[in-house]
């Protein structure tokens, strides 16, 4: 019996961010490994964790320059909107904090609130 391996390759389209960041830290930034260990100990990393790791490893400027290709899951969006409520931020303040468009924040609020 022949097994179709092409379907198995596409079953998990999500990158393994935990392994990617561990490799980056081990090879290029071993001094920052202990600083990021609390995030990397999680079983699964969400987009918020990836943003925190990017900021800790590469600094704020690198994160701000790479905003065009960012995507969020529904749980990530709900976390961001919960952060807004918890910290009593308006849409502009939230957008600035997470480097988003205020129109994106307004759309998310309309969809998920």
pLDDT of the residue at 63: 47
pLDDT value at position 71?
79
Overall average pLDDT of the 16-25 stretch: 90
pLDDT score of 27 more than 90: yes
Q: What is the pTM of this model?
A: 0.60
Q: What is the mean pLDDT of the chain?
A: 82
pLDDT at 62: 52
Which of 22-55 are b and which e, b meaning 16 or more Cβ less than 10 Å from the residue's Cβ? eebbeeeeeeeeeebeebbeeeebebbbbebbee
State both tokens at 66.
Answer: 């790479």
Q: Which pLDDT value is given to residue 99?
A: 83
- Look-up of token digits 């609020």: 109
pLDDT of residue 7: 47
User: Mean pLDDT across the stretch 66-89?
Assistant: 85
């Amino acid at each position: 019996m022949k097994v179709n391996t092409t379907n198995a390759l596409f079953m998990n389209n999500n990158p393994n961010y935990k392994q990617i960041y561990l490799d980056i830290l081990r090879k290029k930034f071993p001094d920052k490994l202990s600083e990021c260990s609390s995030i990397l100990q999680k079983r699964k990393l969400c987009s918020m964790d990836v943003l925190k790791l990017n900021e800790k490893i590469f600094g704020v400027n690198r994160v701000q320059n790479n905003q065009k290709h960012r995507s969020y899951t529904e749980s990530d969006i709900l976390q961001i909107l919960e952060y807004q409520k918890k910290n009593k931020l308006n849409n502009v303040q939230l957008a600035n904090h997470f480097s988003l468009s205020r129109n994106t924040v307004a759309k998310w609020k309309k969809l998920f609130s």
